[in-house]
Structure 1
Amino acid sequence: MRMFLQLGLGFVLLAAQYASGIVVPSSQCRRQCGNVEIPYPFGIDPGCSLTQGFQLSCKVQDGIPKPFRGAFEVLDISLTQGTTRVLNYILGYCYNTSTRSMEYFGRYGGFNEGDPSSPYRLSDTQNRFTVIGCSALALISDYDGTGYQGLGVATCRNLSDLVNGSCSGMGCSQTTIPKRMYYYDTTFSASVNTSQIWEFNRCSYAVLMEAAAFKFSTTYVNTNKFNDTYNGRVPMILEWAIRDVKSCDAAKQNTTGTYACLSANSKCVDSTNDQGYTCNCTNGYAGNPYLLDGCKDVNECNHNPCPSDGYCRNIAGEYRCSCRVGKKYVTESNTCNPNIGFIIGVTMGLFGLMVIVMITIFWGQMILQKRKLNKVKQEYFRKHGGVLLFDKMKSEKGLAFNVFSEAELIHATDNFDSSRIIGKGGHGTVYKGIIKNMSVAIKRCAVVDERQKKEFGQEMLILSQINHKNVVKLLGCCLEVEVPILVYEFVLNGTLFELIHGKNQASQISFNTLLRIAHEAAEGLSFLHLYASPPIIHGDVKSSNILLDDNYMAKVSDFGASILAPSDKEQFVTMVQGTCGYLDPEYMQTCQLTDKSDVYSFGVILLEILTGQLPLKLEGSEKQRSLSLIFLSAMKENNLEAVLVNHVKGQESMELLRGLADLAKKCLDMCGDNRPSMKEVADELNRLRKLSLHPWVQLGVETEVENLLGGDTTGGYEIELSGYPMGESENQPINPRSSYYAR
């Protein structure tokens, strides 16, 4: 007997009629359920939502309050995007070896309140109907089964046909859905099942889920890992709107008083998924447009949009820049330039007609040269992507990123005086500068090619939005020069390389300190891989690129070899610059730079901490020159103690050191797919740090080191020549993708 399982989803869930007028919610309404904010028009208390369709419930599960719409847990709500993210249930179809029949598992039934007046529609752009298996045929249909019907087919002959990350039919398929769907149900075809191939594929799965939250793994086919990984539920995106009218025009003409955009500085936006509308604050304002006076003016002057020698005046929805007497504000370059007309007028009164003629000629030439110079600067600004950068900065009010003028940086470095140099290499020179009483590192890049110039503005904007305590912050740039100038935060206390291999060396440093620094660096790299948008692959991870601030906190630096995570196969094959001793051997064979290449390089850093040795020596046999080969050989012979530095063996238990050595070994696996992710490396280092402080392992307390490096510091901005630390031989560098990042 065929089993038909409905996984019905109808969001707008009751046939509620809108009231004759908008009711302003009480200030007593709760606006938080656990960690999820519940903004109006949504509510979790009676009378606190715009309509019944926006009403949620706040339930306690496992001791934690969580918001729900029916049985579906709500993860977050976006007013600006008009979306709600919920957890949907995975439907499984498995072969039972005992009964020798196919059986469903997962959530039975579900919501069955399909109502076209509901605020919610299933997102056709962000969701995909996903089917997993080697013999799976799943059907998705709308409310009554007479409208939209779609098929998801996943097949394979054996597991070797499958490819991680590929979901185009072989073991995994993803199907789009149409607009205007507020309900769906799913079933598997009984004629296509896993009874013949249950030895390597017992179960098939089907679910409508957020496409960005899914990456296919071949283990999903022959294990229960897909269901277990997501604990039976996966994210799904709902697009909501106020749907009692067809459009903004109809809502504004409605005489019943139900127009929901109450704030004076709000605007109406037509829904792109079925009829209805949402509300947003107008440019220059932010807040909740569904509340009276909910959109507040943004004070742009808090972020210093005007020149350093000018004045900012905030006005409703925008701002104005002005300059002191004798200068005028130039909007195009955002600078205060001398008011030439005023200066000429004063001079004419003092020196007479002859002087006037001379000054007129002089200033005429000056104006001509200045125009030529400004034209050149504007051309550089355009080539480096400055227009794109400024447009993006204007659209994202409050972006903590500055576009400096050349004059500002000349003033900050005493005209790039040689006494201000704190680092020099083949890709540029770094100066210490003072901007607004704050120390910064100013890097004059070497030559960049035309392709890099076009991408510079976009990539600077992406890097500027990286905000993590363990990543050196990019504060701004100057684009009106031939080769861009970068401005970074100033980091005081040198590098991890100096800490391990410097004149005082690591013998005076507690092992806990080194372990903490390694953990912080791993957290920074993990952030670049997982949370930057798009993700960033560092490309040159090494101990000399881990800077230390005044509290000896690790900060990952030097993005000279970095690339943005590729979005297609053509971008994936990229030649970059790296450092011998740290380079991923798999990359050297394939030229495919991945996040696992950073993991390999980080494994070499762990070896430096354990052994106190340099990653590469210039003498000896091949195995004796490479620290990685020396270490792996010792591990293979179960002779770890032979390579450990003496003071480390004296400080820590072998249990901890073996744990760190095992982690390094996993990072150095020749196959990138077998290496852990940086997130897993960071988590393991965190676990080892806790192990090092366990009273059964170690009873001491980490000793503070007053001056770990000794002598004057250079601020940690050493720049390598062609990918090698200063003092080593220089080889021909691999062509970098982004040679203008700090190096």
Structure 2
Amino acid sequence: MIEVRSIHVDDATMSVTIPYSFDCYHKNGSLARRLDVGVELRSHFTFSNSENKLLAFGCDTQVFMNATEYRFGSGCISLCGENLNMSTETSCSGFGCCQTSVPKHLKNLSIVMGSINKHIDVNSFNPCGYAFLVDQRSFDISKMRLDFLPEQVENSSVLLDWVVGKQTCEEAKLNTSSYVCGDNSDCHYLENGGGYGCRCLEGYKGNPYLKNGCLDINECLEPEKYKCSRCQNTMGGYKCKCPLGMHGDGKNGNCRGFSFTTIATVIGASIFLVIIALLLFYDYNRRKREKIFKQNGGLVLKHQRVRIFSKAELAKATNNYSQSNFIGQGGFASVYKGVVLNETSTTATTTQQIAVKKPKLDKDDQNKSILMNHQQFHEEIAIVSQVNHKNVVKLLGLCLETKIPLLVYELVPNGTLSQHIHTKRSSSSSAMLRPWKTRLRIATETAQAIDYLHSLAHPPIIHRDIKSTNILLDENYTAKVSDFGASVLIPPGQTGIATTVQGTLGYLDPEYLTTGTLTTKSDVYSFGVVLVELITGEKPISNGVRIKAKSNNIIQYFVSTIRENKSERYVEKIVDPDVIYDEDHEKEIEIVAELAMKCLEGHSERRPSMKEVVEELVELNKVKGNNKAQQNEEETYQLLIVDHD
């Protein structure tokens, strides 16, 4: 399995991790070895010939790579006579380390290594040799030592080139239905990948695979880079005027002249500007507040059916965002609980619990953080402002007085579904989820919320980060879907969106991960993982799986167990030991397990829609006597919890 570290749309590359090869010798024979590492890529991926190198590291080490597809072979030998100090090295210079280039068009690669003298001459300090395929930009030889053992060595980062189509640019543009480059972008042919990719035009940046993904760069915000003091931004470029009193082309530094007429003009303009500045000074504070309010979309947002909070009001409600009120955090924001007074026309004073989503700013690059959080804020507002469903966390209001606006949600007091599933058995809160009927109900409520996003919201919404930590439970243990920070709106007439891969490892749709195309079926896959979590009580990826699986991936174990035991009872092999169920429930668990299998299909077209998932779960909840049985089970466990406390 190849681990993906990062994907870059700007230069059509992907950083992945592949294992290294090694052999270790001892005076009495071999200690350990992994001599042969083979990697084969899919058709749209190719090893980068410009950035990758094959390295041999050691004092008696030879490495050879070959690719049968191109009848290619190459290698090198690394020798040294003493324990060199590699911490001062910045490159693989030949002593204790050798390297060779990787050819173009390489899609499969076999790496074989060995030792000429089995490290006999240098065994006292160097019993091992290593072979790496590395991205030379990220590999740091100074962190290696010639006396390292295998457990002290990390796998290497390798760069892959990728293409979105195997045609030339001319061929791709002829087929408008499959051509994927968006506005303000252009096609470029990648010789190493044997296909085409997309790049934003000069003067634009962003994701060229989205229709409106390439946005204009405002060069005027970076005067030092573009060396223009009087800048006027244009779409895809900028104009640079000469300083007052001069003429010519300011962009090329070709400004000339300065006359007495110009001096008089400058003096007159300066006096005028001083007068204007004095007038503006008295109005500064009011204008500053209005500017921030407008920048945050206040003119539009104040007409939404949400409450506008002041900065001071939320600081007081959260005790100035004290650590004792901290609930959790995500990639862009931290969440704090608080209490505010209800807006009411009566004389009675009531309070309401809230959750304040406060954006995080990167201290090293606050301008970039503000820009990213502004975009994140407006995307989330566009989504949550139109959502109204009992199983979706409700937006109560906004604060528009800060550089990045604050979002105020209803407080859902009983934590996340993940906390309840994975807490210890003795916990009173986790005991509420022991009845099977409770877990079935929570699964149904979650599915109904996702189906609402897909089918009833206008435009439809893809959540993109469905997981048990984003499913909250209220005081009645009713499920509420939260965190729309990664969500996207589906444009009219489209079923999928080409976008940067984002989500949580273990819940990510494998088809979305490999193609970059996000669809509603991506949410279906993630929900399938949540169903497995509810049935098994295990995290998708865990180092401590209670069920004795062959790997720490519970999804692989779940799928293989059901397939291998199709003709016999398998519920007891997969169900969470904490779950309370009887023989009548076994058939329901089997139906939900089969439904999870459908949701986890590798090809999205084979998965059911969320509407079909909801129909099947609702039908299970309608079975005669279920509602009464569920109520009795939950009341029994509430009594047990009280008695236990």
Per the normalisation by structure 2, the TM-score is: 0.48
